[in-house]
Structures are given as C-alpha cells and as structure tokens.
Amino acid sequence: MFGITFVMFTFGGLADKAASFSDASSDTTDWESKLVKTSIDVTIPNDPGTDSTFSFDITNTNLEKLWEFDKFDIIITYDSAGTTHTETMTYVSTCAPIVGEWCINTWTNDVLDPKILNNGETITVDVEVSNNLQSASDLIVIVATPNGVVASETRTVA
C-alpha cells in the first residue's frame, strides 16, 4: 500500500503537466488555424490628394471573421515638405478622425454579420495624419490584424 501511495504522490503531478501541455497544444493549433484562415487586401482606390485626411479600403479575403478593430495596427508612411513621416494610427469608433486616428467610414457587402468583416466584405477607412501629403511622393499604408496577418499598399500622391 505504501508503494502505491508513494507512486501516486511522486508521479501524480505528471497528469497535471500532461493536461497543461495538451491545453497549450490546443491553443497553438487554434491560433495556427486562425492565422491560415486570415487574409486581407489593402487598396487605396482614389488619389489621396495632398490633404492630411484620406481614405483606403480593407477587404477580408479569407474565412476568419474580423471585428476587434481596436487591436488592428495601422501604420502610415508619407512625405510632407521633403520629410518622411511614419505614424501609427489609433482606432476610434466614430468618424471623422482627428490627427493620429482612423475610423470605419463605410461598410460594403456587410450582409452576414453586421459590423463584422467577413469574407468578401470591405470597409472604407478614413485616417488623418499630422501633416499634409506631398505631391509626387509615395504614400504607404500597412495594416496588421490582431492575429498578425499584414497587408500593405503603396500609391503615389498626385
């Protein structure tokens, strides 16, 4: 009896550790599944002009639903008066944005889950950067989803 009790106390923690490893493996598999199912396209369909406010589109091109917009990273690189600027934007739930902010202006094809970006749906994003954009320079928009998928677009300012 003593031997069985000793073995249970000595090796009893192994079951807990095995369960812990199983949970970690399950979390990793779930994250990998979300990563594989996430894809976005970023486009700047219209010339942004030389103002500090402009718009671009984000389209969900895969199966993962996207809705935690406050966890998106949006980084804008642009030239103004001969100086290159890079700014990280902060999400706000209502438009119009002020300097350093982005918001969702328009939803296109939002038919499945209202205010959730599903496959084939597009949001038009408004941003305001700190300075006016310089004509004949490149505007770079980088968008990263909460699970780390990144897309970017470059367009020359007219």
Residue-level pLDDT at 21: 46
Residue 22, token pair as written in the block: 């199983």
Residue with tokens 């038919």: 111
Task: Give first-to-last CA distance, the chain, whole Å.
Answer: 85
Q: How far is CA 82 from CA 79, 86, 139, in A?
A: 6, 13, 13
For 22-79, the pLDDT digits (tens) are 555 566 667 577 678 899 999 999 999 999 999 999 999 999 999 999 999 999 999 9
Q: How far is CA 76 from CA 13, 55, 79, 111, 142, in A?
A: 50, 12, 10, 30, 6
Instruction: Give the gyration radius of the chain's Cα atoms.
Output: 23
Which run of H or E residues covers position 136? Answer: none
Angle at 157 between CA 123 and CA 95, to 5 degrees: 35
More confident position, 4 or 131:
131
The phi and psi torsions of 19 (rounded to 5 degrees) equal -65, -40
> Residue 4 pLDDT more than 90?
no
Query: Rounded CA gap, 96 and 108, in Å?
Result: 18
Q: Which fold has domain 40-156?
A: Immunoglobulin-like (2.60.40)
- The secondary structure of 35-64 as a DSSP string is HHT--EEEE--S---SSSEEEEEEEE-SSS
Mean pLDDT of 91-110: 97
> Residue 17 pLDDT more than 80?
no
Query: Rounded CA gap, 151 and 26, in Å?
Result: 27
* Domain ranges within the chain, ordered by starting residue: 1-36, 40-156
More confident position, 16 or 117:
117
Residue-level pLDDT at 26: 63
Instruction: Give the pLDDT band (50/70/90) at residue 13.
Output: low
Note the pTM of the prediction, 2 decimals.
0.82
